[in-house]
Chains A and B, each alone.
Chain A
Amino acid sequence: MALRDFRLPDVGEGLTEAEILQWYVSVGDVVTINQMICEIETAKAAVELPSPYAGTVTALKVNQGETVDVGTVIITIEDGVAGESAPAVPVVPAEDDRNLEVPTGKPKQAAVLVGYGVKEGQTPARRARKAASGTQEELGESIVVELHDGPVVAKPPVRKLAKDLGVDIRRIRKSGNITRSDVLDAAMALHGMEQPPATTYDPHREDRIPVKGVLKEMAQAMTTSAFTAPHVSVWLQVDVAKTLKAVKKLKDWEEFEGLRVSPLLIVAAAVLQATKEFPKINSSWDEANHEVIIRRYINLGFAAATPRGLLVPVIHEADGMDIPTLAKELMSLVDTAREGRTPPNRMQHGTLTITNVGVLGIDGGTPILTPGQGAILAVGQIREIPWTVKGKMKVRPICQLTLSFDHRMIDGELGSRFLARIGALLEDPSELYESDNDGDDE
């Protein structure tokens, strides 16, 4: 019986790491040679790994979702064969310190991971050079020697660098190619240039989070958007007293029974109404075709903080909905997102986005557009602040709206008029629901 470690191989010519997507086996399972044991994802592809050993799994050394370097032991299998010769490579001491027998007649091999992806220090493949370390000065002394007549192998830019730094390249002792760093080392040794001590912080005091999944998506989307669409933001403070009254009023209506009526719902309705009046807001820049796409449907996205991170679930064809339907859709959208169950198709094809930063106690901000959309509205918190109404100071509920838009196709006038219209609808939202109610019920 012997324990066999399987190290993560370089499955694709020069890869250095891979993520274990899924284990197909668990500790205690009996596996056969070439039975698929896991799926990994590299920079090139997602592939399955077949077991190189037959036996019983004794340990899975890497968790699902973890990214590890090539050469890392990922699984240990007890081969169940007593005294079997010729263990397959790679052979390393088992955990309990029993050294495995190496087949005789062959030199002991370090990890034979064909390819060149193994990072130094990861495996016993490479040993330190004799007298490898030392201060810069010592290193310099050892590298700069008397002139020699042998051939010098160096690329022209390296030769020029040496010349510029006043280093005679023939005084650099090295068999093989002289590199830029050899020249710099030699220059330091010769001229006593001192390297400032590098400030280092203990890596144990830092946490590193792999960039993947929602985080990766967010980073890519925001980078793309921020550096392709020229953003302009305009903002407006709005007295939302009537909006709050409307919320109260609608709650009592039959159609809204069991539904959540919130200021956000009224904001959404106002955005839909204003977009119908300013359809060019609902547009997208098509770089490839040198065209602006103006959409005659509105898919309204809502930025939501979820357990998986920031997601933007979308209500498709929102422009065709009456307010109760919109309320219902919004409720199911928020609930699904909070549970982290939003399916991918509910996050695609948005045309406009609302981000409700107010729930976080924030007045406003300059949101970044969702890629492919023309505008995004940030809704701030509703604050009771002194406000003048008809020349008198009153305490009113005030909300700040910020609109960011893509200035490639939406100019300042259009963006401002659109935001002003939303503001006006929130100052007096009656037209949003009265016609609605009329049409449906009376």
Chain B
Amino acid sequence: MSELQLVQILSPEGELLTDPEYPLEISTEEIRALYRDLVMVRRFDVEATALQRQGELGLWAQSLGQEAAQVGSGRALIPGDYAFPTYREHGVAWAKGVPPEKLLGMYRGINHGGWNPHDNDFHLYTLVIGSQTLHATGYAMGIQRDKSNNAVIAYFGDGATSQGDVNEAFTFASVYHAPVVFFCQNNQWAISQPIESQTKVALYKRAAGFGFPGVRVDGNDVLAVLAVTRVALARARAGEGPTLIEAFTYRMGAHTTSDDPSRYRLAQELEEWKLKDPIARVKSYLTRSGLANEDFFADIEKEAEAMASKLRGDIIDAEDPYVEAIFDHVYAEPHPILEAEKNAYINYLESFAEGDMK
């Protein structure tokens, strides 16, 4: 796939390019802020991965390498725009202002989500592959009927494009002009399945068959992702219907901490993608253009370390839920059978010799 047609504004070497279709108005301060986002998100992800290896999390899905796709699209959203993530959208959550430690609750097994989606217009992580695209489309059709001026963005991966749900979502969104942006991070691997085994055509081209535009963007270029997503969101808000964005990126880490990618992919591929690192190119642009000095970078490093340290403390100190909690949110109102089951379970737990199981 060397002759890639993709939108690029910042080359891997850190040169600023222009794309007539996607003009980007952006200040130096905004680029510096994007750089900070990228570094913070990566540091967060590194810390969470370490916490999993230390037994503090049952599982972790790394976002390593996909920071630009997530931060760029996340920062294109305006307040009120609703995001429906997979389980890997840590960078979008960051851009939406979800407190980092909240993302870890589900992975630690202490809750099923851990944040109120309405606080930040960021839906709970969805583990079922692709089903959030249907939720997003339905939500978009809802706000369309509310005459809202906002848009919705649905995240999914290259593997999810093989799912029925995603194709159903495309159909509904297209037919109803739903104000939704389908943001596909093509990270080249669906666990161990390479993209070649998912599709014979470039993913962004699939949109044409459903009757809406598709565009491929360099997913490791935070500026291009920002520009492309802004245009797609604007279309949605203007009632012009959905857009499919294929952010061409790479999963630098394992699928999850339970996976060992060295079993199915070559180290050389990883080395090639390292040259396209999303953070390095922004840094080299800022440095070369004299828009940031060493102090700027050092300060962000320091801030990232402090965030990681706080995250570690927060998650280790996180309260385990009380065991009966699992019964408490099944029904809104008391329910006699459930009440009996809950009591039976409490009795069972109390039958153990010591009482500090909780």
Stretch at the interface among B85-93, B111-119, B144-152, B252-260: B252-260
- Asked if A192 is at the interface (CB within 8 A of a chain B CB), the reply is no
- Asked if A388 is at the interface (CB within 8 A of a chain B CB), the reply is no
Q: Using a CB-CB cutoff of 8 Å, which residues 49-72 of chain B contact chain A? A: 50, 52-59
Q: Is the CB of A130 within 8 A of B352?
A: yes
With CB as the reference atom, state the residue of chain A lying closest to B337. A151
Q: Is the CB of B56 within 8 A of A48?
A: no
Q: Is the CB of B53 within 8 A of A46?
A: no
Q: Using a CB-CB cutoff of 8 Å, which residues 25-45 of chain A contact chain B? A: 33-34, 44-45
Q: A10-B58, A127-B353 are known contacts. Are A34 and B50 too (CB-CB below 8 A)?
A: yes
- Asked if B23 is at the interface (CB within 8 A of a chain A CB), the reply is no
Contacts of B58 in A (CB 8 A): 10, 13, 114-115
B interface residue count range (under 10 / 10 to 19 / 20 to 34 / 35 or more): 35 or more
- Asked if B295 is at the interface (CB within 8 A of a chain A CB), the reply is no
Min distance, Cβ B312 to any Cβ of chain A, angstroms = 7
- Asked if B2 is at the interface (CB within 8 A of a chain A CB), the reply is no
Complex: how many Å from CA A378 to CA B348? 64
Residue from B56, B57, B354 in contact with A127 in the complex, judged by beta carbons closer than 8 Å: B354
Main secondary structure of the interface of B (DSSP, over half): loop
Complex: how many Å from CA A7 to CA B347? 31
Min distance, Cβ A197 to any Cβ of chain B, angstroms = 28
Complex: how many Å from CA A44 to CA B254? 12
Residue from A10, A45, A46, A175 in contact with B55 in the complex, judged by beta carbons closer than 8 Å: A10
Number of interface residues of A (CB under 8 A): 40
Contacts of A44 in B (CB 8 A): 258-260
Q: Using a CB-CB cutoff of 8 Å, which residues 110-133 of chain A contact chain B? A: 110, 112-115, 126-130
Q: Is the CB of B55 within 8 A of A114?
A: yes
Min distance, Cβ A131 to any Cβ of chain B, angstroms = 9
Min distance, Cβ A121 to any Cβ of chain B, angstroms = 14
With CB as the reference atom, state the residue of chain A lying closest to B353. A127
Q: A6-B54, A47-B53, A86-B317 are known contacts. Are A13 and B59 too (CB-CB below 8 A)?
A: yes
Q: A12-B258, A115-B58 are known contacts. Are A130 and B351 too (CB-CB below 8 A)?
A: yes
Contacts of A60 in B (CB 8 A): none
Q: Is the CB of A103 within 8 A of B354?
A: no
Most buried by B among A51, A86, A175, A176: A175
With CB as the reference atom, state the residue of chain A lying closest to B55. A9
- Asked if B329 is at the interface (CB within 8 A of a chain A CB), the reply is no
With CB as the reference atom, state the residue of chain A lying closest to B54. A52
Complex: how many Å from CA A115 to CA B353? 23
Contacts of B47 in A (CB 8 A): 34
Contacts of B25 in A (CB 8 A): none
Q: Using a CB-CB cutoff of 8 Å, which residues 89-120 of chain A contact chain B? A: 89-90, 103, 106-110, 112-115
Min distance, Cβ B33 to any Cβ of chain A, angstroms = 27
Contacts of A11 in B (CB 8 A): 52-53, 55, 257-258
Q: Is the CB of A33 within 8 A of B55?
A: no
Main secondary structure of the interface of A (DSSP, over half): loop
Contacts of A103 in B (CB 8 A): 317
Min distance, Cβ A316 to any Cβ of chain B, angstroms = 26
- Over the window 345-357 of chain B, the binary record of Cβ atoms lying under 8 Å from chain A Cβ atoms (1 yes, 0 no) is 1011001111011
Complex: how many Å from CA A260 to CA B232? 79
With CB as the reference atom, state the residue of chain B lying closest to A47. B53
- Asked if A340 is at the interface (CB within 8 A of a chain B CB), the reply is no
Q: Is the CB of A114 within 8 A of B109?
A: yes
Complex: how many Å from CA A33 to CA B51? 10
Q: Is the CB of A107 within 8 A of B354?
A: no
Q: Is the CB of B353 within 8 A of A45?
A: no
- Asked if A88 is at the interface (CB within 8 A of a chain B CB), the reply is yes
Contacts of B353 in A (CB 8 A): 127-130
Contacts of B21 in A (CB 8 A): none
Min distance, Cβ A311 to any Cβ of chain B, angstroms = 25
Complex: how many Å from CA A68 to CA B134? 45
Complex: how many Å from CA A51 to CA B47? 12
- Asked if B306 is at the interface (CB within 8 A of a chain A CB), the reply is no
- Asked if B344 is at the interface (CB within 8 A of a chain A CB), the reply is yes
With CB as the reference atom, state the residue of chain B lying closest to A49. B53
- Over the window 294-329 of chain B, the binary record of Cβ atoms lying under 8 Å from chain A Cβ atoms (1 yes, 0 no) is 000000000000000000110011011000000000
With CB as the reference atom, state the residue of chain A lying closest to B343. A175
- Asked if A386 is at the interface (CB within 8 A of a chain B CB), the reply is no
Q: Using a CB-CB cutoff of 8 Å, which residues 23-80 of chain B contact chain A? A: 46-47, 50, 52-59
Provide a sorted-by-A list of 16 A–B residue pairs whose CB atoms are within 8 angstroms. Answer: A9-B52, A44-B260, A45-B260, A47-B53, A52-B54, A86-B316, A103-B317, A110-B356, A112-B320, A113-B55, A114-B55, A128-B353, A175-B344, A175-B345, A175-B347, A176-B348
B residues adjacent to A (C-beta < 8 A): 46-47, 50, 52-59, 108-109, 254, 257-260, 262-263, 312-313, 316-317, 319-320, 344-345, 347-348, 351-354, 356-358
A residues adjacent to B (C-beta < 8 A): 6-13, 33-34, 44-52, 86, 88-90, 103, 106-110, 112-115, 126-130, 175-176
The 9 closest A-B pairs by CB, nearest first: A9-B55, A45-B260, A175-B344, A52-B54, A12-B258, A114-B58, A50-B50, A115-B58, A34-B50
Q: A10-B58, A13-B58 are in contact. List 10 more A-B contacts (CB 8 A).
A: A8-B55, A9-B56, A33-B312, A44-B259, A89-B56, A112-B56, A114-B55, A114-B56, A114-B109, A175-B347
